[in-house]
Structure 1
Amino acid sequence: MTLQEDTKLLSVHNLGCIRGGRPVIENISFDLPGGKALVVTGPNGIGKSSLLRTLAGLIKAHAGSMTLEGAEDDLSVGQQAHYFGHADAIKPALSCRENLKFWQTYYGHPTRSPYQAMIEVGIEDLIDLPAAYLSAGQRRRLSLARLLVSYRPLWLLDEPTSALDKASEHKLEVLMAEHLIEGGLIIAATHAPLGLVDPLRLHLDRNLASEPALDDALSEPTAH
């Protein structure tokens, strides 16, 4: 698979955040070019989710900087990102169509209609059903469809295969591959393999104190 050339570049330098009065992540630095994915691994509680939430703007960084060049340079990284976290970000009283329409209006940059996005994730028959009646797996797929109704160059995925069956996991692999081919960027925190082709990797380890473990692939784009 050949990734198209792209000028986007996510640069993160010495990023840190504090939660509950203590540092959760410190001195995180990496460069991620368009068309590439970064897989974040490490034990539970090490700060993988906090890193993604900081990039998304949901947690305030107390140190460092982050920029996404080559997209909408006047916007923050979080304003250019889809965040797919543990919570499904779904209003139970709204139908599936209404949920997706809300997020499409909020995000802007529409790409697919709610119905087309639900076809992609295999739950189009449920489009007018209130989200309260969905199973955990169906809710997860509806939340995944949020990424498809509006374009944002950066996908931040926190344990994205949680509650997905094998068919849905395969569909997620396809959608991620398509996003990367189009020049998008993906950062995924996970304990499970995601089927990504040649991703960069960032391993967070308590034994390394404030320094993340960067493998050789991650150090290729730039040296810090």
Structure 2
Amino acid sequence: MSMLSVRNLAVSRGGLPVLENLSFEVEAGQALVLRGPNGIGKTTLLRTLAGLQPALAGNVSIPSESMAYAAHSDGLKSTLTVSENLKFWAAIYATDTIDPALESMNLRGLANRAAMSLSAGQKRRLGLARLLVTGRPVWVLDEPTVSLDTASVALFAQAVRGHLGQGGAALLATHIDLGLGEARVLDLAPFKARPPEEGGMLGAFDEAFL
């Protein structure tokens, strides 16, 4: 069963097209890893899929209220404790418990510590733990392993495997090998948009975007 379907998608950054003619599907139990050089448009693509910016063309099909998006920001309330942050998000998504999230990302010993006092890696683990309290089946993740050490990367990979094993799906932009042997890889380089012709689309946009 397809959890996320993309057809002939074109996306832009700063008003300029960066990817075009992109099509793929992610089915239940599958992970798809996006690859490509810096600046190719991975973040722009994920923001478009998450509904944070409009597509230039094409279609995105995903069941309503099924996506959990994790960007570069950890999305934490700095004055709340680890457990209070997770309880906040559990209340937003009307899920039952934060215990699996605490255990999965090795946060039990930090449960009563304020988020502002955490290290960068600990904050990242807490930010990723939010995925586990959303109850949503489609995870869309932008460089999820930033600031994580080797042990924490392994914890995260295990959480992704568990999610897939329960029928979830994941779309990840990452340069790190997560050891997800079952994951498919999509190289975005062939879908890089052609530069606009001189005097064409480029002239319609402010130079500040360049």
Deviations 1:24-66 (A, max 9, x none): 2222111221111111000001001111111111222221111
TM-score, with structure 2 as normaliser = 0.86
2 CA distance for matches of 1:65 and 1:102?
A: 33
Q: Which of the numbers 36, 49, 54 marks the counterpart of 1:55?
A: 49
RMSD: 1.7
Secondary structure of the equivalent of 2:147? coil
Q: Report the alpha carbon displacement of residue 138 of structure 1 after superposing the two structures with TM.
A: 0.5
**Contact 1:12–1:31 (CA<8 Å) still a contact in 2?**
yes
2 CA distance for matches of 1:25 and 1:190?
A: 17
**Contact 2:26–2:169 (CA<8 Å) still a contact in 1?**
yes
Amino acid at match of 1:17: V
Larger radius of gyration: 2
Structure 1: which 5+ runs fail to align? Answer: 1-6, 212-224
**Contact 2:43–2:142 (CA<8 Å) still a contact in 1?**
yes
Does the alignment pair 1:94 with 2:80?
A: yes
How do residues 31-42 of structure 1 correspond to structure 2 at under 5 angstroms? 31-42=25-36
Provide runs of 4+ in structure 1 moved above 6 Å.
none
The residue number in structure 1 matching 2:193 is 210
**Contact 2:8–2:23 (CA<8 Å) still a contact in 1?**
yes
Does the alignment pair 1:80 with 2:63?
A: no
2 CA distance for matches of 1:39 and 1:116?
A: 25
Does the alignment pair 1:119 with 2:103?
A: yes
Q: Which of the numbers 111, 115, 125 marks the counterpart of 1:131?
A: 115
How do residues 58-207 of structure 1 correspond to structure 2 at under 5 angstroms? 58-68=52-62, 73=63, 75=64, 79-108=65-94, 110=95, 113-205=97-189
Deviations 1:97-124 (A, max 9, x none): 221112112223x15x224311221121
TM-score, with structure 1 as normaliser = 0.80
**Contact 1:121–1:142 (CA<8 Å) still a contact in 2?**
yes
The residue number in structure 2 matching 1:28 is 22
Amino acid at match of 1:82: A
Secondary structure of the equivalent of 2:52? coil
Amino acid at match of 1:49: T
Percent of aligned pairs sharing the same letter: 46
2 CA distance for matches of 1:208 and 1:125?
A: 45
Amino acid at match of 2:11: C
2 CA distance for matches of 1:202 and 1:120?
A: 28
Deviations 1:63-110 (A, max 9, x none): 111112xxxx4x1xxx311112211011111221221112112223x1
2 CA distance for matches of 1:157 and 1:93?
A: 25
The residue number in structure 2 matching 1:9 is 3
Q: Report the alpha carbon displacement of residue 182 of structure 1 after superposing the two structures with TM.
A: 1.1
2 CA distance for matches of 1:44 and 1:23?
A: 15
2 CA distance for matches of 1:26 and 1:208?
A: 5
2 CA distance for matches of 1:8 and 1:42?
A: 24
Q: Report the alpha carbon displacement of residue 197 of structure 1 after superposing the two structures with TM.
A: 2.2
